[in-house]
C-alpha cells in the first residue's frame, strides 16, 4: 500500500513511517521540517518538504495514489498555542482540513488523525474514557478537538473512513528536548549534560506515559481495522514526575532535582482508559515504563557519545585546516626563496654570474612565473634585479652609476618583461582553468538535478503504468474483452455483446433487440442476467420515436429527459449500412450520462457491429455447408453448435430458448416450408443427432412457446418438448 505520513520526519511520525516501511509498504512523507529532521528517516521513502496547509499539497495527491493517510503534522507545543493561537490554528485546523479534503477527493481509503489527551482538559474522572466530556484548556486542545469534529463530519458526509487517536504523553527515542519535547526528553538531556533536573511544582503531578513504538504499532493496526471514531491511545498508567526521577536514578547519576514554581495550566493528574483501543485493534502496549525508559535512555546516551566524538573530530579538523591553508600560502614563498638561494649559490660557485652560458636569474624568474603566476614572478624579478645590481657593484662599479648604465637598465627591463609576460600568461591560463572548473561544477550540479527529476518522473511514470495496467480500462483488459466478440456465430455475437457492454460500460442493464426482416419490429435476443428493469420482448418501430430516430439517423439515442418508459441510451448495430439490432442501456448512474460515456457506448456498439458483420459474412460464405441442401434446415453439426451457444446463454440467464421436437416420422416429408411460414425470423429448424427435426424458438419461455405450438398444430404439425437438449446436441 502507499502510505502518506504527514509530519513523518518528527518524533512520532518517523517511528510510524518506519513501522509501515518495515511492514513492506511504500512510505511518502510531507513535512515542513520546522521541528522534524530528515536524519530521523533512514529508509527508502519519498519526501516532500511542504506545510500541510499549503494548497500545493494537491499536486502530491494528484501524482500519487495514497491508500492511507496518517496525519501527524501539527504544531505540538501547548505554550506556543497560547503565544500564537493563529499559527496553531493554521497548522492544526487548516492543515487538517486540507489533508482531509484531499484524501476524500483522491480516494484515500483510511484517514488516521493523531489527536491528543489535551481535548479532555483537566478531567475529574480517572482513568478518562472516550465518553468523558471534552473541555480543552489551551488553543492546542481546542484545535485538536475541532480536528476530530472535522474527521467525524467527513466520515458522515463523504463516507471517508476516519479514526482519531487521542494520545497520552508520548516518550521515546528522537523526541526533542526543546519545543515539542516532553518531560522525559528534557530530563534525559539534563542528566547527560550533568545538569540538575528542573521540576515544576512538587513533582506529585501524574502523567500516562506511552512508549513511541507502542504508538506506531497501534497506528499500524488502525489501517486494518474498520473502526471509525475516537480512541484513547495510552498505557493506562499513572506515573508521577517524582516516580519518573526515581526510575531514572536507577540508570544514571542525577545531580539533584531543583523544584520551581508550578507551570500555569499544568493539570495535576492524567490517566486514560485504553480498553476501547485494546478491544478494537487487538492491541496491547508491549513496553512497560521501565523498559521504555531504558530504551530511551540508551538512545540518548548513544546520541551524546556520537555528538561528543563528532565535536572532538571537528575540533581537530578545525585546528588542522588553518595549518594547511597557511602551508598553501607559505610554500610558494619558501620555494621562491630556495630558488633564489640556489641561483646565488650556483653563480658564486662558478664565480661568473651573468657570464654563465644561461642567465640563471632569468631562468629563476621564468620558473617562478610558470609555477605561481605574476605575483611570484614579479617578486623573483625584484630579487634577481637586486642580485644583478649587487653583483655588478661587486665588480668595482659604483652602485649609482649602474642605474645610468643602459646595459644594466636593459637587463632589468629584460627581467621585468620576462616576469610579466610569463606570469600574466600563466595567470590567464589559471583563470581560464578556474572558470572551466566552475562551469564543470555548475554543469555537474545541473546534471544531478536533472537526474533527480528524471528519476522521480520515472518513478511516477512506472506508477502510472502500473495503475493503467491494473485498471479496468487497461489495454490488456480491453483486449480480453474484445476477444469475447471473436465468434462466427451471429447468435453468439449477441450474447457476447451483452457481456462486453457490461464490462466496458460497467453496467448490469444491457438489452439487445434484433430487427425483424421487414424492419417493423425489434425482438429481444439477449439481456443482462440480473436485469430487474422491465424489458419489452418486442418493440414496434412505429410506436417508438426513439427506435425510429435510430433507424433513420443510425445515431445513438440519449434519453435526456429521463423518460422512465425509455432506456437511458440506445445504439444501432449495423450490418452493411442497415440497422439490424438495437443495443440499450436500461439503467445508469446519473453521473455517467455524459459525453465520455456516450463515446464509449458508441465505440463498443461499433465493435459489436463489425463483429456481427464478420459473422454474417462468414455465414453467407458457409451457408452451403450449414444447411441441408435446398432447404432451410440446419444440418446436424451446425444445429449442434447453435444449440450449444443457446444453452450457454441460458445458463448465464442472458436469453431463454425453447426446443421443440417435430413429431413426424420422416423429416423429409416437406414439413420444412410449413414450419418456416409459422416460426419467427430468429427461430431455427435443424436436424438432431437422432435424425429428427427440431425447432429452436429463440428468446422464448415455455409459456410463450404455447402460442407457437398452437399455430403449428393448426397447420397439422405436432410437436413436443424433448426431455433434454443434451440428447440431441
Ligand atoms: N515537567 C517538569 N520539568 C520539566 C518539564 C516538565 O517538571 O522540565 C513537568 C510539567 O510541569 C508537567 C509534566 O512534567 O507537569 C509533564 O510535562 P510535559 O510538558 O511533558 O507534558 P504535558 O504537561 O503537556 O502533559
Q: Edge-to-edge, what's the strand order for the sheet holding 538-540? A: 538-540, 521-527, 510-515, 578-585, 569-575, 557-558
Question: Is the beta carbon of 169 within 6 A of some atom in ligand 1?
Answer: yes
The confidence band for 564, taking pLDDT boundaries of 50, 70 and 90, is confident
Give me the pLDDT at residue 233, please.
Answer: 97
- Grid coordinates given for 254: 542525577
**CA-only gyration radius of the chain, Å:** 46
Question: Is the beta carbon of 186 within 6 A of some atom in ligand 1?
Answer: yes
Domains and CATH numbers, the chain: 2-172+209-236+271-288 (3.40.50.720), 325-451 (no CATH), 491-621 (3.30.450.40), 636-720 (3.30.70.270)
Give me the pLDDT at residue 471, please.
Answer: 56
Task: Give the distance (Å) from ligand 1 centre to CA of residue 125.
Answer: 20
Alpha carbon separation from 65 to 4, 18, 109 (Å, rounded): 9, 20, 10
DSSP assignment of 207-254 equals E-EEEHHHHHHHHHHHHH----EEEEES----EEHHHHHHHHHTTS--
Give me the pLDDT at residue 464, please.
Answer: 65
Q: Edge-to-edge, what's the strand order for the sheet holding 68-71? A: 46-49, 26-31, 2-6, 68-71, 110-116, 162-167, 229-233
Question: Is the beta carbon of 198 within 6 A of some atom in ligand 1?
Answer: yes
3-state DSSP: the chain helix, strand, coil percent, rounded to 5?
55, 15, 30
Nearest CA to ligand 1 atom 21: 182
| Listed ranges 169-173, 333-337, 723-727; the one with the highest mean pLDDT | 169-173
Give me the pLDDT at residue 465, please.
Answer: 64
Question: Is the beta carbon of 206 within 6 A of some atom in ligand 1?
Answer: no
Q: Does position 664 have pLDDT exceeding 80, yes or no?
A: no
Give me the pLDDT at residue 620, please.
Answer: 82
Task: Give the distance (Å) from ligand 1 centre to CA of residue 89.
Answer: 23
Task: Give the distance (Å) from ligand 1 centre to CA of residue 242.
Answer: 11
pLDDT digits (tens, 9 = 90+) for 380-419: 999 988 888 887 776 666 667 767 778 788 888 989 999 9
Task: Give the distance (Å) from ligand 1 centre to CA of residue 44.
Answer: 35
The confidence band for 139, taking pLDDT boundaries of 50, 70 and 90, is very high
Nearest CA to ligand 1 atom 13: 183
Nearest CA to ligand 1 atom 19: 182
Mean pLDDT of 100-116: 96
| Listed ranges 181-190, 228-237, 525-534, 565-574; the one with the highest mean pLDDT | 228-237
Ligand 1 nearest-atom number relative to CA 182: 20
Nearest CA to ligand 1 atom 6: 183
Mean pLDDT of 8-25: 95
Mean pLDDT of 442-467: 73
Ligand 1 nearest-atom number relative to CA 241: 14
Give me the pLDDT at residue 94, please.
Answer: 97
Residue among 295, 163, 296 at smallest CA distance from 233: 163
Residue among 688, 607, 571, 706 at smallest CA distance from 641: 688
Residue 562: burial class (beta carbons within 10 Å; 0-12, 13-18, 19+): exposed
- Grid coordinates given for 33: 521540517
Q: Does position 352 have pLDDT exceeding 60, yes or no?
A: no
Q: Which of 200, 267, 296 to mutate to test the pocket of ligand 1 (most atoms within 8 A of CB)?
A: 200
Say how far apart CA 381 and CA 412 lie, in whole Å. Answer: 8
Nearest CA to ligand 1 atom 20: 182
The confidence band for 25, taking pLDDT boundaries of 50, 70 and 90, is very high
Question: Is the beta carbon of 205 within 6 A of some atom in ligand 1?
Answer: yes
Task: Give the distance (Å) from ligand 1 centre to CA of residue 188.
Answer: 13
pLDDT digits (tens, 9 = 90+) for 172-192: 999 987 755 799 999 999 998
Strands annotated E in 119-208: 162-167, 169-171, 197-200, 206-207
Give me the pLDDT at residue 5, please.
Answer: 98
Say how far apart CA 280 and CA 317 lie, in whole Å. Answer: 56
Give me the pLDDT at residue 309, please.
Answer: 79
Lowest mean pLDDT among 121-125, 201-205, 622-626: 622-626
Residues acting as catalytic residues: 140
Are the CB atoms for 247 and 185 separated by under 8 Å? no
Beta bridge partners of 687: 693
Q: Which of 183, 195, 210 to mutate to test the pocket of ligand 1 (most atoms within 8 A of CB)?
A: 183
Nearest CA to ligand 1 atom 3: 199
Say how far apart CA 613 and CA 76 lie, in whole Å. Answer: 70
Q: Compare 705 and 30 and report the one with higher pLDDT.
A: 30
Give me the pLDDT at residue 213, please.
Answer: 95
Mean pLDDT of 520-524: 88
Residue among 346, 347, 338, 414 at smallest CA distance from 371: 338
Q: Does position 227 have pLDDT exceeding 60, yes or no?
A: yes
Residue among 136, 200, 170 at smallest CA distance from 7: 170
Ligand 1 nearest-atom number relative to CA 263: 11
Say how far apart CA 623 and CA 628 lie, in whole Å. Answer: 9
Task: Give the distance (Å) from ligand 1 centre to CA of residue 182.
Answer: 6
Nearest CA to ligand 1 atom 17: 183
Burial letters 420-448, b for 16+ CB under 10 A, else e: bebbeebbeeeeeeeeeeeeeeeeeeeee
Mean pLDDT of 36-62: 93
Say how far apart CA 174 and CA 189 lie, in whole Å. Answer: 12
Q: Does position 297 have pLDDT exceeding 60, yes or no?
A: yes
Question: Is the beta carbon of 181 within 6 A of some atom in ligand 1?
Answer: no
Q: Compare 80 and 212 and report the one with higher pLDDT.
A: 212
Task: Give the distance (Å) from ligand 1 centre to CA of residue 200.
Answer: 7
- Grid coordinates given for 435: 572558470
Say how far apart CA 570 and CA 563 lie, in whole Å. Answer: 13
Mean pLDDT of 40-64: 92
Rounded (10°) angle between helices 490-505 and 475-483: 160
Task: Give the distance (Å) from ligand 1 centre to CA of residue 53.
Answer: 29
Are the CB atoms for 74 and 91 separated by under 8 Å? yes
- Grid coordinates given for 543: 410506436
Question: Is the beta carbon of 191 within 6 A of some atom in ligand 1?
Answer: no
Residue among 579, 533, 534, 537 at smallest CA distance from 556: 579
Q: Does position 294 have pLDDT exceeding 90, yes or no?
A: yes
Give me the pLDDT at residue 596, please.
Answer: 77
Say how far apart CA 618 and CA 492 lie, in whole Å. Answer: 13
Question: Is the beta carbon of 183 within 6 A of some atom in ligand 1?
Answer: yes
Task: Give the distance (Å) from ligand 1 centre to CA of residue 363.
Answer: 77
Nearest CA to ligand 1 atom 10: 200
Nearest CA to ligand 1 atom 16: 183
CB atoms within 10 A of CB 81: 24
Nearest CA to ligand 1 atom 11: 200
- Grid coordinates given for 27: 512510505
Say how far apart CA 4 and CA 171 lie, in whole Å. Answer: 23
Residue among 657, 720, 656, 712 at smallest CA distance from 692: 720
Give me the pLDDT at residue 429, please.
Answer: 93
Question: Is the beta carbon of 207 within 6 A of some atom in ligand 1?
Answer: yes
Task: Give the distance (Å) from ligand 1 centre to CA of residue 293.
Answer: 16
Beta bridge partners of 487: none
Task: Give the distance (Å) from ligand 1 centre to CA of residue 124.
Answer: 19
Ligand 1 nearest-atom number relative to CA 205: 15
Task: Give the distance (Å) from ligand 1 centre to CA of residue 245.
Answer: 12
Question: Is the beta carbon of 178 within 6 A of some atom in ligand 1?
Answer: no
Lowest mean pLDDT among 130-139, 228-237, 525-534, 600-609: 525-534
Nearest CA to ligand 1 atom 5: 183
Mean pLDDT of 216-228: 94
Alpha carbon separation from 727 to 4, 68, 724 (Å, rounded): 62, 57, 6
pLDDT digits (tens, 9 = 90+) for 462-519: 666 665 555 555 565 666 677 777 777 777 788 888 888 888 888 888 999 989 888 8
- Grid coordinates given for 157: 458526509
Q: What is the mean pLDDT of the chain?
A: 86
% of the chain residues with pLDDT over 90: 44
Nearest CA to ligand 1 atom 2: 199
Q: Which of 196, 263, 269 to mutate to test the pocket of ligand 1 (most atoms within 8 A of CB)?
A: 263
Q: What is the pTM of this model?
A: 0.51
Question: Is the beta carbon of 303 within 6 A of some atom in ligand 1?
Answer: no
Question: Is the beta carbon of 266 within 6 A of some atom in ligand 1?
Answer: yes
Q: Which residues contact 92 (CB under 8 A, 6 or more apart)?
A: 74, 75, 140, 143, 144, 146, 147
Give me the pLDDT at residue 473, please.
Answer: 55
pLDDT digits (tens, 9 = 90+) for 229-249: 999 999 999 999 999 999 999
Q: Does position 168 have pLDDT exceeding 80, yes or no?
A: yes
% of the chain residues with pLDDT over 70: 91
Question: Is the beta carbon of 241 within 6 A of some atom in ligand 1?
Answer: yes
Are the CB atoms for 178 and 193 separated by under 8 Å? no
Amino acid at each position: 500500500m502507499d502510505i502518506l505520513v504527514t509530519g513523518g520526519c518528527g518524533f512520532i511520525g518517523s517511528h510510524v513511517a518506519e513501522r509501515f516501511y518495515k511492514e513492506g509498504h511504500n512510505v511518502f512523507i510531507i513535512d515542513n521540517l520546522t521541528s522534524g529532521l530528515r536524519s530521523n528517516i533512514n529508509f527508502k521513502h519519498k519526501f516532500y518538504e511542504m506545510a500541510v496547509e499549503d494548497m500545493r499539497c494537491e499536486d502530491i495527491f494528484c501524482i500519487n495514489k495514497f491508500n492511507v493517510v496518517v496525519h501527524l503534522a501539527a504544531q505540538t507545543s501547548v505554550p506556543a498555542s497560547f503565544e500564537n493561537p493563529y499559527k496553531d490554528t493554521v497548522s492544526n485546523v487548516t492543515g487538517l482540513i486540507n489533508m482531509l479534503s484531499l484524501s476524500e477527493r483522491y480516494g484515500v481509503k483510511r484517514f488516521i488523525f493523531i489527536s491528543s489527551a489535551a481535548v479532555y482538559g483537566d478531567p475529574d474522572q480517572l482513568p478518562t474514557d472516550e465518553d468523558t466530556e471534552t473541555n480543552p484548556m489551551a488553543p492546542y486542545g481546542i484545535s485538536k478537538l475541532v480536528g476530530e469534529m472535522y474527521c467525524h463530519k467527513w466520515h458522515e458526509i463523504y463516507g471517508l473512513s476516519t479514526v482519531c487517536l487521542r494520545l497520552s504523553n508520548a516518550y521515546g527515542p528522537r523526541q526533542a528536548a526543546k519545543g515539542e519535547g516532553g518531560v522525559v526528553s528534557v530530563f534525559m538531556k539534563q542528566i547527560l549534560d550533568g545538569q540538575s533536573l528542573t521540576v515544576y511544582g512538587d513533582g506529585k503531578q501524574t502523567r500516562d506515559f506511552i512508549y513511541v513504538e507502542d504508538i506506531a504499532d497501534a497506528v499500524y493496526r488502525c489501517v486494518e481495522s474498520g473502526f471509525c471514531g475516537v480512541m484513547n491511545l495510552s498505557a493506562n498508567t499513572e506515573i508521577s514526575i517524582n516516580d519518573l526521577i526515581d526510575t531514572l536514578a536507577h540508570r544514571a547519576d542525577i545531580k539533584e532535582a531543583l523544584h520551581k514554581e508550578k507551570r500555569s495550566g499544568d493539570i495535576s493528574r492524567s490517566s486514560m482508559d485504553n480498553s476501547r483501543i485494546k478491544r478494537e485493534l487487538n492491541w496491547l502496549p508491549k513496553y512497560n515504563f521501565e523498559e521504555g525508559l531504558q530504551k530511551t535512555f540508551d538512545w540518548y546516551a548513544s546520541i551524546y557519545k556520537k555528538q561528543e566524538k563528532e565535536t572532538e573530530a571537528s575540533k581537530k579538523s578545525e585546528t588542522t585546516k588553518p595549518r594547511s591553508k597557511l602551508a598553501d600560502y607559505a610554500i610558494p614563498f619558501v620555494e621562491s626563496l630556495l630558488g633564489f638561494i640556489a641561483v646565488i649559490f650556483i653563480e658564486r660557485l662558478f664565480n661568473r654570474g651573468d657570464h654563465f652560458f644561461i642567465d640563471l636569474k632569468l631562468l629563476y624568474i621564468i620558473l617562478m612565473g610558470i609555477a605561481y603566476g605574476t605575483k611570484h614572478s614579479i617578486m623573483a624579478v625584484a630579487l634577481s634585479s637586486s642580485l644583478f645590481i649587487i653583483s655588478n657593484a661587486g665588480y668595482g662599479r659604483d652602485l649609482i652609476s649602474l642605474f645610468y648604465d643602459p646595459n644594466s637598465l636593459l637587463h632589468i627591463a629584460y627581467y621585468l618583461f620576462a616576469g610579466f609576460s610569463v606570469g600574466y600568461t600563466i595567470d590567464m591560463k589559471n583563470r581560464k582553468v578556474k572558470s572551466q572548473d566552475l562551469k564543470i561544477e555548475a554543469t555537474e550540479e545541473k546534471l544531478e538535478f536533472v537526474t533527480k527529476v528524471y528519476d522521480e518522473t520515472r518513478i511516477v511514470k512506472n506508477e502510472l503504468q502500473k495503475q493503467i495496467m491494473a485498471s479496468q480500462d487497461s489495454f490488456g483488459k480491453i483486449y480480453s474483452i474484445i476477444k469475447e466478440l471473436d465468434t462466427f456465430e451471429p447468435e453468439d455475437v449477441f450474447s457476447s455483446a451483452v457481456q462486453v457492454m457490461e464490462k466496458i460500460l460497467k453496467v448490469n442493464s444491457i438489452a439487445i433487440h434484433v430487427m425483424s426482416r421487414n424492419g417493423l419490429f425489434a425482438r429481444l435476443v439477449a439481456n443482462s442476467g440480473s436485469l430487474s428493469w422491465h424489458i419489452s420482448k418486442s418493440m414496434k418501430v412505429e410506436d417508438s420515436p426513439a427506435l425510429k430516430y435510430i433507424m433513420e439517423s443510425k445515431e445513438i439515442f440519449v434519453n435526456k429527459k429521463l423518460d422512465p418508459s425509455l432506456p437511458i441510451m440506445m445504439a444501432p448495430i449495423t450490418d452493411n449500412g442497415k440497422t439490424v439490432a438495437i443495443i440499450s442501456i436500461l439503467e445508469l448512474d446519473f453521473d455517467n450520462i455524459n459525453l465520455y460515456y456516450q463515446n464509449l457506448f458508441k465505440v463498443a456498439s461499433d465493435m459489436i457491429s463489425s463483429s456481427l458483420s464478420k459473422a454474417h459474412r462468414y455465414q453467407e460464405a458457409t451457408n452451403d455447408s450449414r444447411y441441408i441442401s435446398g432447404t432451410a434446415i440446419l444440418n446436424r453439426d451446425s444445429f449442434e453448435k447453435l444449440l450449444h451457444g443457446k444453452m450457454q446463454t441460458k445458463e448465464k440467464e442472458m436469453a431463454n430458448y425453447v426446443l421443440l421436437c417435430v413429431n413426424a416420422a420422416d423429416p423429409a416429408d416437406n414439413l420444412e416450408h410449413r414450419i418456416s411460414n409459422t416460426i419467427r425470423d430468429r427461430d431455427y429448424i435443424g436436424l438432431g443427432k437422432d435424425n429428427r427435426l427440431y425447432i429452436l424458438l429463440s428468446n422464448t419461455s415455455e409459456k410463450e412457446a404455447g402460442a407457437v405450438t398452437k399455430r403449428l398444430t393448426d397447420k397439422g404439425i405436432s410437436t413436443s418438448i424433448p426431455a433434454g437438449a443434451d440428447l440431441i446436441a
